[in-house]
Amino acid sequence: MRIDIFTIFPDYLTGPLDTSLLGRARHAGIVDVRVHDPRAYTSDPHRSVDDTPFGGGAGMVMRPEPLFDAVEAVGPPRPLFLLTPGGRRLDQHLVSELAAGAGFSMICGRYEGVDQRVADHLCDGELSVGDYVLAGGEAAALVVVEAVTRLVPGVLGNDASPEDESFTGGLLEAPHYTRPAEFRGWAVPPVLRSGDHAEIARWRRTQALRRTQEHRPDLLRSVELSPEDRAALEETGDERPGTMTGPPPGATP
Ligand code: JF5
């Protein structure tokens, strides 16, 4: 997979791209991430990449010429996205689609703005990583690269597929625990140490359902729930033996 990134701050990306999973995947030749600086494609003596906005106003706007010249010189893989808070929101579905392709590219905008002709006549789409404003698209580009490349076969360090993890099946993950079995008085849920794998799978499903209901009820609406799932969600999760202090709500006195 090839991913090209256009940024006026290439140094911002080098550390993350050379580190950990992604660094190893690049070194192994599984992913080919190329960073390009539009400033290198300027021809004016000042090598300027921005200019004042037509119509007035604060801040500077990224000039179209260096971006068009850089993209046309490099011939990056398409689709080419402009990273901006106004773009299509990245989600795990889009991440999987990008991971299934041969590559894509991104232009990092700056918060003041990018000449509109870049979005209109150079890019194939605009992409957002969330409803907040960054100083530039660089951190957003790293989010996209990391989410996509971890799905590329051979990138994940272990042999477990990423299938089991958060958002697959549309639910948040069940909680994880490791040793010690008791830490500062907090015990690991006994079911996880029972060796009963069917019971453990049921417990994890229930935890995933309840967590999703609690933190992301919007996700739950697009999940197919079995009768067992519905039953697990209807229980409060508080019915540990010995903790009941009164009748359940609505009980007949
Ligand atoms: C940017 C204009 C680019 O802030 C972002 C961003 C937020 N979510 N996804 C991307 O990019 C930088 C800001 C304003 C253009």
User: Distance between CA 16 and CA 146 in Å, rounded?
Assistant: 9
Minimal-distance CA residue to ligand 1 atom 2 = 111
- Show the ligand 1 pocket: residues with CB < 6 angstroms: 83-85, 109, 111, 113-114, 128-130, 132-134, 136-137, 140
pTM of the model: 0.90
Distance 154 CA to ligand 1 centre (A): 31
Mean pLDDT of 198-212: 98
What DSSP assignment string belongs to 64-120?
HHHHHHHHHHH---S-EEEEEEEEEEP-HHHHHHHHHSSEEEEEE-BTT-B-HHHHH
Q: pLDDT band for 184, please (50, 70, 90 cuts).
A: very high
What does the pLDDT look like over 147-161, one tens digit per residue?
999 999 988 764 455
Mean pLDDT of the chain: 92
Reported confidence tier of residue 84, pLDDT bands at 50, 70, 90: very high
3-state secondary structure of 19: coil
pLDDT digits (tens, 9 = 90+) for 90-134: 999 999 999 999 999 999 999 889 999 999 999 999 999 999 999
